[in-house]
Structure formats: structure tokens, C-alpha cells
A and B are shown apart, each in its own frame.
Chain A
Amino acid sequence: MLLSVRGLRRLHLAASFDLVSGECVALRGPSGAGKTQLLRALADLDPNEGAVLLEGTASEAIPAPLWRGRVVYLAAEPGWWADTVGEHFPSWSSAAALAERLGLPAACGVWPIQQLSTGERLRLALVRALVSVPPPGPRVLLLDEPTAGLDEVAKAAAEALIAERRAATGMGVLWVTHDATQAGRVARRWLLVRNGLLEESPAPP
């Protein structure tokens, strides 16, 4: 089992589920249901109760920075701490190829963050999540509406990139989306947050 979640509690939400290697599970639910809270708790960014195990090892048994290097959370509104794009990557040369695949020019490494559009920020943050953590890279990727506001071409490119990475490395993905068609496209299993509980859904909800 790649990721096991047992009785995870954060605020008004309780969750138990499993994720196998290479699997993508779509997570849906109304705004304010606690989807983001769940992803943050899985990345151990907020105090929480319950057990989260990565390949059998509980999160508390692993130093938090190491845990987050394996269970990587990508926020819906990603943050930036330096002035230019390239400064946010360990090495821009390794990131440039992925940025190009998502429809950005390789030269965007020198662009100032202030001038980026929302769509550019989302795509660059996705690349950052894939290349910034130490090898072997993310084991689980927690995506919070990673393609919200992207055009169809960019959306398809992002979906393809993530699918490819899953197939190549066995990375698992928990994907929050409000788009039912996308949920059907990217995942074969669907989870629904309802009344503070996480339920399996037989079809894209």
C-alpha cells in the first residue's frame, strides 16, 4: 500500500482511505467541505489526529521536512518567495523542459513573479512540485485544483504530464477538482466529502 489513511481528523472532517502505487484518486465535494484541510493534514501542514502511513511508515516516525518531500502538497494558490521564476527551482535547467511541455517558454526562468498570470503560476507551481524535492521525487502528490482556470490545451498537457509521471515512478495522486469531466478523465476512483465524512463514489460525482 502506498498511502494508508486511518481515522485522520482535522477540524470537522474525518477520513480513512488507501491509495495504491501509481493510482490517481479524484476528490470532490462542495466548497468549504474540507478538501483543502484534508490535503494539508496529509502533508502534515496542520495539527491533526489519526494515522497516515507512507509505504507502512507512520508520518510521526519520519521528520516532517522529509515527509513533505515525499507527500507533496500543491496549494490552490501557490506561494512565491523570490523575485524571479528561476529562483524558485533548485536548478532551472532541469525545470525548463517540463515548463515547455506545459506551454511556457524555456526562457521564462528570468520572468519576474509579479508579472505572471494565474495560469502561468499554476503551471510553474506544478513543475516546482515535481522537480524540487530530493530524489526519488514525490511518492504522493496532493493536488488542490491544479488546473483551475487553465485553457483546454494547457489542462490536457498538465494531465498528461502527471499521468506519465505516475506510470514511470508509481507516484500516487490525490486530485481535488470541481470539474466532473476532469475527475472522470484523470481518475478511476472517486472520493466525495459529504457532511464531514469521506465516501467512495461509484462514478465521477
Chain B
Amino acid sequence: MTYIQLNALDLALPALLVVLNGTLSVALQLGLERQLAAAALRMVVQLALVGYVLRVLFELGSPCWTGVAALVMVAAAAHEIGARQARPLARGRAFGLGAGCALAAAGSVTALALLTQIRPEPWYDPHYALPLLGMVLGNTMTGIALGLDALTTGAVRDRAAIEARLALGATRQVAMLPVTRAALRAGSMPIVNSMAVAGLVSLPGMMTGQILAGAEPVEAAKYQILIMFLIAGGTGLGTVAAVLGGVYLLSDGRHRLRLDRLGARKNAA
């Protein structure tokens, strides 16, 4: 495959666009310039590093190191899930729930694709396993983070309504059903939206990448369809598991609403 190689100057020029955003933030007094600079810097360092890390992992081709890389990715996703909550579950519960659900959902969906559809030799070939896991995991993370945020903010906002039902003898599942439903909808919305507009409004990232790298568009589209299904499956499973787990952690065996298990309020990133 042939594609146009990029040099440092090719990257420096578009970086000016971020500088332009920062300038606008200063001019309009949005106070976003520091966050913007930090995020842009993080993005550059992370992606540059991951380029080198992937090169090494591909050369090694070891199942152990591929597994370690996958676990690091899951841990980072779980950390982000906690960081995106206005009021996360306290004492590591948000991390544990996020990590467990992201690993189970994204891991099983990725393994399914590797073993049944893509079938690389060996099946854990990091060339396939890691990018695939990354795409599924990134979207699953978003679904879980949105779902849990909607659940915890909904439980705080609707506390009186939930406790009114509990006080009349409802179980925690029944009392929390409206906020549970709203949380599941919130978590599923991004993937529903992106499937609905894929190819029409947006050309998804992976397909664009394959086309830029010289792949045949129809082949790239097939891959993208597979990925979209995988992402939808992973996001759905992960969000349902995380929200139901969240309902369980936000209440106790005596069917009480336990808002005391939420951490202090902070501004969502």
C-alpha cells in the first residue's frame, strides 16, 4: 500500500489551528486555553508514544505483552470513566465498576470478532487485537461514563421520588426504574447517533484511515460496518452492565438509597 508520508512540518502547521482556538478562548474570556493546551499536548505525547509502543508490541507479537497492553488500556478507560462523573461513586467503586464492565464488554466483543470474523493467525495478533480493542473500548468507555453520570445525577435529583416509592414498599429496582431507563438511554445515544449518520454526515475514522492508506473504499466500508456492529455491541453490553451495577452500588440489601456512597461534587471534565 502506498500513502503520503507526513513530516514534522506537516504536523506543525495544523497545530496552529489549536493555537487559533486558544487565542479565541483568550479573546472571548472562556478560560479554556490552559485545558486546551494541556489536552493538545497530552494528545501529541500519548499518540507519539503509542506509535513507538505499538511498533515494539508488533515486533514482539507476544500474547503476554499484548494482554498487558490491553489491561493498561482498560485501566486508563476506567480512570476516565471516574473522571467524567459530576459525582462519582466513592472509594474506588467507580473505577472498579468501570474497569469491570469495560473489560467484560469490550474484551468479549473484541475476542468474538478476532475468533469468528477476522481470524488473524495467531488470533491475538497485536496488529488486529489492539486497534480493534481500542476502538471498541473508546466507545464503550463513553457509553459507560454517560450512563453512570446520568444515573448518579438522576438519583441525586430525584431522591424524593425514589424514596417516596421505597417508603411505600417498592424494591430498589422498581423505585430506581425511571432513572435507570434514563441512564441507559443516555449511554446508548452516542452510538445510535453515530450509526445513523455514518457515511452520510461522517466518514468514520477507521474507514477514512484505510482509504488514506490506499485501501479499496468498498473493502474499507465492510471493515467499518463490522467495527460499528462491534462498537454497538460493546457499548450496549458495557452500559447495561455498568448502569445496573451502579443501581446495585447506589442502594443496599435493605433497599435503601445510599447517596452517601457518592463522592463530593466536582465539575465534570
A75 lies within 8 A of B160 (CB): yes
Q: Which residues of A contact B218 (CB under 8 A)?
A: none
Q: B49-91 interface mask toward A, CB cutoff 8 Å, 1 = contact, 0 = none? A: 0000000000000000000000000000000000000000000
Q: Which residues of B contact A78 (CB under 8 A)?
A: 160, 164
> Does B33 belong to the interface (CB within 8 Å)?
no
Q: B154-172 interface mask toward A, CB cutoff 8 Å, 1 = contact, 0 = none? A: 0000111111111111110
Contact of A66 among B167, B169, B178 (CB under 8 A): B169
A81 lies within 8 A of B164 (CB): yes
In the complex, how many angstroms separate the beta carbon of A94 from the nearest chain B beta carbon?
15
In the complex, how many angstroms separate the beta carbon of A121 from the nearest chain B beta carbon?
11
Contact of A79 among B161, B171, B255 (CB under 8 A): B161
> Does B265 belong to the interface (CB within 8 Å)?
no
A79 lies within 8 A of B159 (CB): yes
In the complex, how many angstroms separate the beta carbon of B4 from the nearest chain A beta carbon?
58
Contact of B160 among A46, A66, A77, A134 (CB under 8 A): A77
> Does A123 belong to the interface (CB within 8 Å)?
no
> Does B93 belong to the interface (CB within 8 Å)?
no
> Does B127 belong to the interface (CB within 8 Å)?
no
In this complex, the member of A47, A65, A128, A129 whose beta carbon has the largest number of chain B beta carbons within 10 angstroms is A65
Q: Which A140-194 residues sit within 8 Å CB-CB of chain B?
A: none
> Does B256 belong to the interface (CB within 8 Å)?
yes
A69 lies within 8 A of B160 (CB): no
Q: Number of contacting residues on B, CB 8 A?
A: 21
In the complex, how many angstroms separate the beta carbon of B178 from the nearest chain A beta carbon?
6
Q: Which residues of A contact B171 (CB under 8 A)?
A: 65
A68 lies within 8 A of B169 (CB): yes
Q: Which residues of B contact A65 (CB under 8 A)?
A: 166, 169-171, 255
> Does A2 belong to the interface (CB within 8 Å)?
no
B162 lies within 8 A of A129 (CB): no
A133 lies within 8 A of B169 (CB): yes
Q: Which residues of B contact A77 (CB under 8 A)?
A: 160
Contact of A64 among B168, B178, B254 (CB under 8 A): B254
Q: How far is the CA of A79 from the CA of B254 in the complex (A)?
A: 20
Q: Number of contacting residues on A, CB 8 A?
A: 25
CB closest chain-B residue, reference A134: B169
Q: Which residues of B contact A81 (CB under 8 A)?
A: 158, 161-162, 164-165, 178
> Does A99 belong to the interface (CB within 8 Å)?
no
> Does A45 belong to the interface (CB within 8 Å)?
yes
Q: Which residues of A contact B159 (CB under 8 A)?
A: 79
B164 lies within 8 A of A69 (CB): no
CB closest chain-B residue, reference A69: B169
B255 lies within 8 A of A64 (CB): yes
Q: Which B155-212 residues sit within 8 Å CB-CB of chain A?
A: 158-171, 178
Contact of B256 among A46, A132, A133, A134 (CB under 8 A): A46
Q: Which residues of A contact B257 (CB under 8 A)?
A: 45
Q: Which residues of A contact B160 (CB under 8 A)?
A: 75, 77-80
> Does A74 belong to the interface (CB within 8 Å)?
yes
Q: Which residues of A contact B256 (CB under 8 A)?
A: 44-47, 64
B169 lies within 8 A of A44 (CB): no
Q: Which residues of B contact A69 (CB under 8 A)?
A: 168-169
**Which A residues are closer than 8 A to B by beta carbons?**
43-47, 64-66, 68-69, 72-75, 77-81, 125, 128-129, 132-134
Give 24 pairs: A residue, B residue, CB < 8 Å, sorted on A. Answer: A45-B163, A45-B167, A45-B257, A47-B252, A64-B254, A64-B255, A65-B166, A65-B169, A65-B170, A65-B171, A68-B167, A68-B169, A72-B167, A72-B169, A74-B167, A75-B160, A78-B164, A79-B162, A80-B164, A81-B158, A81-B164, A125-B164, A132-B168, A132-B169
Further 16 A-B residue pairs, CB within 8 A, beyond A45-B166, A79-B160 = A45-B163, A45-B167, A45-B256, A47-B252, A64-B254, A64-B255, A65-B169, A65-B170, A77-B160, A78-B160, A79-B158, A79-B162, A79-B164, A79-B165, A80-B164, A132-B168
Q: Which 7 pairs show the lowest CB-CB distances between chains A and B?
A: A79-B160, A69-B169, A79-B164, A79-B161, A81-B161, A64-B255, A64-B254
